[in-house]
């Protein structure tokens, strides 16, 4: 185990893959990042992890015009308040349209939006990195997923 200069544990690839698979199984929301050629675009979405790749479903237009055959990043994180730890896993690689068919069956991500898209993208995990760290006192009292904004 390696600890960086700020006290975060650098996770090895098997642990990153384990956390990614666990997050997918528990229906966590991930984020997909791509560039439109001028600026980055990051969107939250449901995902699954199957046979070593990240899969997402999207609708036509927007992302479906940008993402296939592009280098993208996919990230998922979690705050475990009961253990007072947080972690994040980042997958970087090429996205491509998944082969048509039903080979993924019930494992396909089920988007929370009323009209989910039917374009399935797979993200090849060329680079997988992750970090875990202990929460500072008081932070573990904040519910997982909650975001508090304070005025500037």
How many angstroms separate the Cα of 142 from the Cα of each of 60, 104, 114, 137?
37, 36, 29, 10
pLDDT for 128 equals: 97
Question: Whats the size of the chain, residue-wise?
Answer: 152
pLDDT tens profile 108-127: 677 777 777 788 888 999 99
CA distance 44 to 60: 16
| Nearest to 66, CA basis, from 30, 99, 37 | 37
Between 68 and 147, where is the model more confident? 68
CA distance 148 to 44: 18
0.85 exceeded by pTM = no
Q: Which domains does the chain carry?
A: 2-134 (2.30.110.10)
């Amino acid at each position: 185990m390696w600890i960086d200069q700020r006290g975060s544990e650098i996770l090895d690839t098997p642990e990153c893959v384990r956390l990614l698979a666990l997050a997918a199984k528990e229906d966590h929301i991930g984020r997909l990042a791509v560039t439109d050629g001028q600026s980055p675009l990051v969107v939250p979405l449901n995902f699954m992890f199957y046979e070593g790749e990240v899969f997402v479903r999207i609708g036509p237009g927007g992302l479906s015009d940008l993402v296939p055959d592009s280098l993208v990043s996919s990230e998922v994180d979690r705050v475990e308040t009961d253990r007072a730890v947080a972690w994040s896993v980042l997958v970087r690689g090429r996205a491509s349209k998944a082969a048509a068919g039903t080979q993924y069956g019930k494992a396909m991500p089920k988007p929370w939006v009323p009209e989910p898209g039917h374009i399935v993208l797979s993200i090849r995990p060329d680079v997988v990195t992750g970090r875990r760290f202990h929460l500072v006192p008081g932070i573990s009292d904040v519910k997982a997923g909650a975001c508090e904004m304070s005025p500037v």
